[in-house]
Amino acid sequence: MQKSSSFSALVDYFKDIATQHIAIQHTDAKKHFFRFELDEVLSGLNGINYPALILEGYKFDFTDNKSDNIQKKRQGAFILLDHVGDAGDYTKIHEVWDALEEIGDDILAKIKADKMKSGNPVMNFEFSEVNANLIATEMGMHYGIRFLFSIDSKFNAAVNPDKWLSPTV
């Protein structure tokens, strides 16, 4: 069983969001959820359905504030992406950004509601650290919003003797 704070659990959670949201409706037959990195998105994507929800990998660091209360902070991002056939159609581009912002707000509201459920991978999602940026790619004429977020969790610094060989000295 995977830990609720694992990367796999986070991927599964966002895939569920893409499956459940009425504007996205990801299925195995009609994929709207993907796991890409930002450079892959910016260099152009083919064969995806819109709107797409793309989860990026995350980085993490630790803080201990000179105490035994060590925290692990994961920083990641998800992208909502759509396509506009005419790069000069600013009205359509603005409509896409407006629609994606509304979907993003829906996702953040769902995360907030799910945060109250135990065992959820976003239980310690830090809303005060969420920020979003509009994105546009010249290649492929994709337009979207990138949401950066952080998830905090306690770090268990206790050594598990079952995971170490006995010293031979």
What would the DSSP string read from start to end of the chain?
---TTSHHHHHHHHHHHHHH-TTT---SSS--EEE--HHHHHT---S--SSEEEE---EEEEE-TTSS--EEEEEEEEEEEEE-S-TT-HHHHHHHHHHHHHHHHHHHHHHHHHTTSTT-TTTTB-GGG-EEEEEE-SSS-EEEEEEEEEEEEE------GGGSPPP--
Q: What pLDDT is attached to residue 1?
A: 29
Q: Averaged over 58-75, what is the pLDDT?
A: 81
pTM: 0.83
| Res. 36: pLDDT tops 70 | yes
- pLDDT above 70 coverage of the chain, percent: 86
Domains of the chain (ranges; CATH) run: 7-163 (3.30.70)
pLDDT of residue 84: 93
pLDDT digits (tens, 9 = 90+) for 73-118: 889 999 999 999 998 999 999 999 999 999 999 999 999 888 887 6
Q: How confident is the model at residue 58 (pLDDT cuts 50, 70, 90)?
A: confident
